[in-house]
Structure 1
Amino acid sequence: MTTPFQPAPAAPVAYSPDGTPYYAAPAPLAHPPVIYQPAALPVPGQPLAPTVVYLPAPHTPAPLPVSVPARDPWPARLLAGGIGVGAGGIGLGFLLQTLAAATTGLGLLAAALGVLYLLKNSGGGGGRGGHGGVNVSVSVSNRNR
């Protein structure tokens, strides 16, 4: 008796007169052994012989038993809904964060352009003679003289 871990006994080897080894079978052979000869390679340009194709049998699923009603997997639906709501909340958070960053950048740009406009177009004090100055005329009379 052999176990899967013990090697099987080696088959006896017979040799033909030209030195080709043949592995002897324990029972007598029905026909004499034939030397293996590989098939000839196909000639380019000639059509190949048709081969037999075995298609798989069509799969027909077994019908569900009619007497057993299908269970409602409410825990799975609750979990899927919670994951969906969480993912939606994360996505909404990213959207709002991006929107806040964009509006902050636009606000800073508008403020910088406003300051530049005011610096360019303001009168900037009395010595410049810019727009918005006040005309003052002073007349002094002394009655005591």
Structure 2
Amino acid sequence: MDRTANPQPYVAQVLYTPDGAPYYATAPAPAPLALYQPPAPLPVPIQHPGPALAYLPAQHAPAPMPVPARDPWPARLLAGGIGIGGAGLGVGFLLQTLAAATTGLGLLVAALGVLYLLKNSGGAGGRGGQGAVNVSVNVTNRNR
């Protein structure tokens, strides 16, 4: 049997710590470990002018073209739309809060009005709260 063609798998050795906990030993590293070092940065390529520009005298060099200024009207429209939308949203929240506050205040005034009417009406029907009337009735029977 040729052992070089089909080598046996490595079996980890079981070792024990002094307190009895097992740990497994692994195979030794084939080479000493090295720290990671990031690769060196790439060199910056040199920009060469074209062959025609390299031999022109300085007075014949083309002047750089001015960059046309951009009209910021799309940005202004966008900013205005965002501002108007934000203002509309703020006004909507303000009106909603105002409506809730006035509704709550109206309900409070109505409840206080009902309490005032119940307290001051006296339960005297339509007499306008005149109060109780003392009645004394004497009945005598003359047929006796």
TM-score (norm 1): 0.42
TM-score (norm 2): 0.42
